[in-house]
Amino acid sequence: MRVAVYYNNHDVRVEERPRPVAGPGEMVIRIEASGICGSDVMEWYRVPKAPTVLGHEFAGRIEEIGTGVTRFHVGERVMATHHVPCNACRYCLTGRESVCDTLRSTTIDPGGFSEYARLPALNVDRGTFSLPEEVGYEEATFVEPLACAVRGQRIARMGTGWSLAVLGSGVAGILHIQLARARGARRIFATDVHPFRLEAARRMGADRVLDAREDVPEGIRKENGGRLADLVVV
């Protein structure tokens, strides 16, 4: 199969590797779409691990199923998470899955930027989800980043009727804007330094966009009855 191997931000090579095989409890999926996370282009983070196959926001179709897998079938459309928690340690049991040791050690083989990927049994068991037919593969690549926004707003106890300030209107910021709008936010402010992103934030539901180089707190007060935002997302 073909894989995109990352060496650095200016050196990504299409190489050949053997197609993975599903072991007991595992699955092999054919990757149909994979998003590019902001972390994928942070060289200080990625280069020490290079050469490597990146891609952890992906969706595809099941190609092969290992023995013992009963919840899924060959040909089924799925999205899967790259990292999964154990759901049993003291961190998981107290809602702090993001610091679970298992979460940081799980992965897929070799990564989303490949034609096929093997999902370990743990990922199949608690990190793979069927896709409704109306959800396309490219849309499905947003499940993982959107889940980050959902969890963040849940932990912050974002409430209906709240005002929200989103500092930074990249993809994650826009997901927070759309989620807050769906959850009934009263007023949403968005900042950035790039006109393209500010316009995107406006299109995606921000009531007011502010250049981050200006006096953001004062701009929010003017539009929010003299008050700052109830919640700030960075």
Give residue-wise pLDDT tens across range 63-97: 999 999 999 999 999 999 999 999 999 999 999 99
* 173, 201: one domain: yes
Tens-place pLDDT, residues 38-61 = 999 999 999 999 999 999 999 999
Q: Are residues 132 and 176 in the same domain?
A: no
Helix (H, G, I), strand (E, B) or coil at 163: strand
Location of structure tokens 């099941």: 62
* 211 and 159 fall within a common domain: yes
Q: Which domain holds residue 83?
A: 2-140
Q: Is residue 112 domain-shared with residue 183, that is, in the same domain?
A: no
Give the end of a domain, one of 113, 140, 167. 140
Number of domains in the chain: 2
Q: Please indicate, yes or no, whether residues 17 and 99 belong to a single structural domain of this protein.
A: yes
**Same domain? 176 vs 222:** yes
Query: The CATH number of the domain where 216 resides is what?
Result: 3.40.50.720
For residues 59 and 141, the answer to whether their CB atoms sit within 8 Å is: yes
Query: Could you say which of 75, 105, 140 is where a domain stops?
Result: 140
Same domain, 64 and 26: yes
pLDDT at 12 over 90: yes
Distance, in Å, from the CA atom of 154 to the CA atom of 145, rounded to the nearest integer, reads 14
In this predicted structure, the answer to whether residue 104 has a pLDDT above a threshold of 90 is no
Quote the CA–CA distance of 27 and 20 in Å, as a whole number: 9
